[in-house]
Chain A
Amino acid sequence: EAGVTQSPTHLIKTRGQQATLRCSPISGHTSVYWYQQALGLGLQFLLWYDEGEERNRGNFPPRFSGRQFPNYSSELNVNALELEDSALYLCASSWDTEAFFGQGTRLTVV
């Protein structure tokens, strides 16, 4: 069974551009969580999607947005990139109690 897959693994953008990160959950998982880990910080909750709807979002500005598609895959979009958006972005998928992570996307903003 394939695990949670994220793409791309690395992404380099310049300040002001937009970044799109993708996550494919484990088959049968309907929930997708997005987290950010900036340098020196723990996992910060970004967004939670379930059954195609945004269920909750963390304390991030509106330029962080996303969506979940009918096949439960998800996109995270970051507009107007700032240098401090450089971080590892992790996606986790879940059904019932278990949650599993992807390998992450390393976003670098220059």
Chain B
Amino acid sequence: ILNVEQSPQSLHVQEGDSTNFTCSFPSSNFYALHWYRWETAKSPEALFVMTLNGDEKKKGRISATLNTKEGYSYLYIKGSQPEDSATYLCALRSNDYKLSFGAGTTVTVRA
């Protein structure tokens, strides 16, 4: 299982502000990068799957970018709302199909 790191571990953001956070991973054996949103008392919900260097995905106010050469992905939340409060997980799928998760970034949006 590969070392996937997410930073920061947690962050607080004022409602209406934008924020971003990072997922770092070893770039060798890369197959795909997943982002999940995990709300309390629910199962993690798939946000994005990215496979190509330079990929950018968007879902509403949330977007993600991918750099497979340097081994990082950013997740952006534009105009944060209280319902964005959750733990955001990234997971690396290597080319042997192993799925390795980071510890997550917990986002708290203050009204």
Partner of A98, one of B31, B43, B49, B101: B49
Segment from B11-19, B54-62, B63-71, B91-99 that makes contact with A: B91-99
Cβ contacts B69-98/A at 8 Å (1 or 0 each): 000000000000000000001010100011
For A, the interface residue count at a CB cutoff of 8 angstroms equals 24
Residues of A within 8 A of B (CB): 4, 31, 33, 35, 41-43, 45, 48, 50, 55-56, 58, 90, 92, 94, 97-104
Complex A-B, nearest 6 residue pairs according to Cβ-Cβ distance, in ascending order: A42-B103, A101-B43, A43-B101, A101-B44, A97-B32, A103-B43
Would you give 18 A-B contacts (Cβ < 8 Å), ordered by A?
Answer: A35-B101, A41-B103, A42-B89, A42-B101, A43-B103, A45-B99, A55-B97, A55-B98, A56-B1, A56-B98, A58-B1, A94-B99, A97-B49, A99-B91, A100-B46, A101-B36, A103-B43, A104-B43
